[in-house]
Amino acid sequence: MGHFHKMANGERISTQKLKVAGGSVTVGLWGYIGFNGSELEVKPDNSRVTGTRGSVVGNSRQWTLNGAVGEQAKIKALYSDEFGTHIWDWFEVEFVAAAAKASQSGKLAFTNMDQCGIAALDEILSRSISEGMEYAGLIFKQGARLGFTAPVRGEPDSALPGLSAPAGATIVGTYHTHGNKQGSGEIFSPQDRGFHNLRHWFAYLGTPSRAILKFTPKERPPDEHPALAAFGGKSVKLR
């Protein structure tokens, strides 16, 4: 391999430390990928920083590096060919706090419920994962406009959104996170389903892998026992 370049979010980087605002950055490693059986890899020296292998774009292999704010890592760039695996180069990454953006909570800023739920989760998901705590809030509607309430901090395994909408608004759903709980944190729990089916509310969930899910409640028969609310409804992945 005669060449090796590093790109972060489309910009060329050197072996100096790369400071990333937030907890994620896309890095492209370029160096004749696929030539004579070669392949590029990344290996952080900090187990709390992970590199997820992505697609090949031209001669560049893409990775997404993830880490909590404050984490640092030296990233070894490796390549493999018919002769073995070799350290080709390295660079450093440091995750720093992103500049605070004005919150959209409390504002009737949306005409689409999915956009509202996603925006609410985007404001709190990274913090929830970093802290290992759940957060929850309401989604409300007034006329044709929608908004969300500020997130309420809960516990590692639960959070309640509060049950008061702004004056004149109607509650139509909630959003919540699952902190950094692995496995079951990637799906709506039976408790989540029951809570929303009983109220016929929509739900938006931010998971530890940063996926965003939407739950549509079922139509319940008038005589259905409340215990059966934990079953049914539809969950889809939005992102």
Q: What integer pLDDT is reported at residue 2 of this predicted model?
A: 34
Using alpha carbons only, give the angle 78, 80, 82 rounded to the nearest 5 degrees: 160
SS3 111: coil
Q: What is the per-residue pLDDT across 74-107, written as a single tens digit (0 to 9) for each?
A: 887 776 767 777 666 667 888 877 666 788 999 9
Does residue 228 or residue 51 have the better pLDDT? 228
Question: Residues 166, 107, 196, CA angle at the centre, nearest 5°?
Answer: 60
What confidence category does residue 162 fall into, taking pLDDT thresholds of 50, 70 and 90?
Answer: confident
Q: Which domains does the chain have, with CATH numbers?
A: 5-96 (2.60.40.10), 113-237 (3.40.140)
Q: Which residues contact 155 (CB under 8 A, 6 or more apart)?
A: 133, 134
More confident residue, 133 or 33: 133
Lowest mean pLDDT among 45-54, 178-187, 190-199, 200-209: 45-54
Q: Judge whether 233 and 215 are in contact, CB under 8 Å.
A: yes
Question: Is residue 200 predicted with pLDDT exceeding 50?
Answer: yes
pLDDT of 34 > 50? The answer is yes
Question: What pLDDT sits at residue 6?
Answer: 56
Average pLDDT over residues 162-172: 90
> Is 134:166 a contact under the CB 8 Å cutoff?
no
Q: Which is more confidently placed, 18 or 71?
A: 71
> Would you state the pLDDT for residue 38?
62
